[in-house]
Structure 1
Amino acid sequence: MSVRRLAPDQVQPTSFAFTPANENWADQQIAKYPEGRQASAVIPLLWKAQEQHHGWVPRAAIEAIAKKLSMAPMRVMEVATFYTMFNLQPVGEHFIQLCGTTPCALRGAEALKKVCEDVIGPQSTVSADGKLSWLEVECLGACCNAPMAQVNFDYYEDLTPENFRKLLDDLRNGRPTKPGPQVARSGSEPLGGGETLKDPALFDGSMIGAGNWQARITEQRKAAAEAAAAKAAAEASAKAEAEAAAAAGKAGPTDTKTAPAPEAATPARPKPSEPAQPASAAQDTPSAVGKAVKGSEPVEEGKTPSDKAGAPAAVEESKPELLTAARNNAPDDLELIYGVGPKLAKMLNEMGIWHYDQVAAWTPAELAWVDSRLTGFKGRATRDDWISQSKKLATGWRPESKLGDKPVK
């Protein structure tokens, strides 16, 4: 990196001060930083000073900024001399930064340098009329349109010695210029014209049915609104059912007891001399009602089989795999199953159910067995489809809500 020095004393102004508008702008920049960190605003203030002082930073501006930021002048000098975007020498009204790196060099930047030398003079010198000066710089990032140059804040691309010479003449004489490519192409498309998206049907609307697009959009919005309304109604209905079921469960397990048959508590077996009761009469007795279905545990006396799982008595029950404690003393969070709260989670743990994979492996009969033992919550496991939820949870998936993911029926 070359040594960068301030301009000679004979071109240095005796003083510098921001305009009122720029002073206000500088104060706003300083206010962005916490107390004691005002020095962080040195770069934007140097840039604004350069912009105000005809494109270069004089010594007086460096000293004024140092005073404003409570910095030693040398600290500001270090920043100004380090960054090449700060011009320390006077520049022309139109400052040309000509890219000379590889892509531009391969595309003709050397010829453009000769144009600058012919029209303006050596680098870092201002033309006699004060209109132009130039400098070769590193890549400006418009390689696809090489060769190119930056004039003040605008890029001029796809330059040739001919159009570049004309550009300099227009700038010197105050004629309007067109930034961007100086040839007949748009942006950075191929020189021969665009090679993609050339089908006119892509732009005339015919591919999307432009003639009735408004009606189609209206129908789509209407369908979306109807679907949202239907979903909301279904969710409201499901919520009402859940609240009703919860209210019924809170009433207590004794609320569903069947009334005892009058004078028919526990009839004795008929003596050999007595005629046997008809089959229908035998089934109506409490002892018959209390008999368990094959493969299940006995029903508590005075309850019907439907009390066991909120399901018909014909549902067969089977005891699932139960554990005395969680594996590796690391139980799963059963409350992530929708419908399982702290009370139900404790109830499941007491049964011996600690993990998602236990629930995921239940058969319908095992589900019925568990459902029948959820005191105050019978039928909850079936209604909220714990098996499907647990299969997802066992894979490592987790719901967004800690209450679980309500199953969609």
Structure 2
Amino acid sequence: MNFDNTTLIVAGAIFAAVILLLVLFLRRPKQRVSLSGAESRPLSPTSSARSIDLAEGRGVADEGAAAAKDVAGQILGVEAHPLVAPADGPPDNLQTLKGVGPKLAAQLNAAGFTRFEQLARLTPNEIALLDERMGAFKGRLARDRVSEQAAYLARGDTEGFESAFGKLGGA
């Protein structure tokens, strides 16, 4: 039996949707808790509102679409979630960032990161995903707050950078 790409993508989307529904069904709350009157503090740490930052989306529909994209990417053998947006302009000297030397800068360039603004736009989840690809430098991006440093330099705030991270250096 011969399948074309559309059939495989549709099958992957249906499979991902079924899995997503199962996960949502199994994770539903066991009991409902409501606060009465003016009391507004959470009853327990698990009932408090948490900030969940997902690089793929914030709603069920977005998550379903992302799951279908994951399955289709695996079937077709392509990168379903590229981390980096194309650079706009000449490359920046990433070695200006504290903790980024020539080897880490080369790895970031190989991953498509050439400008401060690209690094500044990364979400915590995207930083974690990129960190997984950094081999010997795993953990450095988060520990050295590379995205935060890049945000200062992307907007040209060298004074803010130096007050937060120390004297501006570079190779």
Shorter-chain TM-score tier: 0.3 to 0.5
Q: Normalized per residue, which structure has more strand?
A: 1
Larger Rg: 1
Q: What TM-score comes out, normalization by structure 2 length? A: 0.45
Q: Normalized per residue, which structure has more helix?
A: 2
The structure showing larger relative contact order (alpha-carbon pairs under 8 Å, at least 6 residues apart) is 2
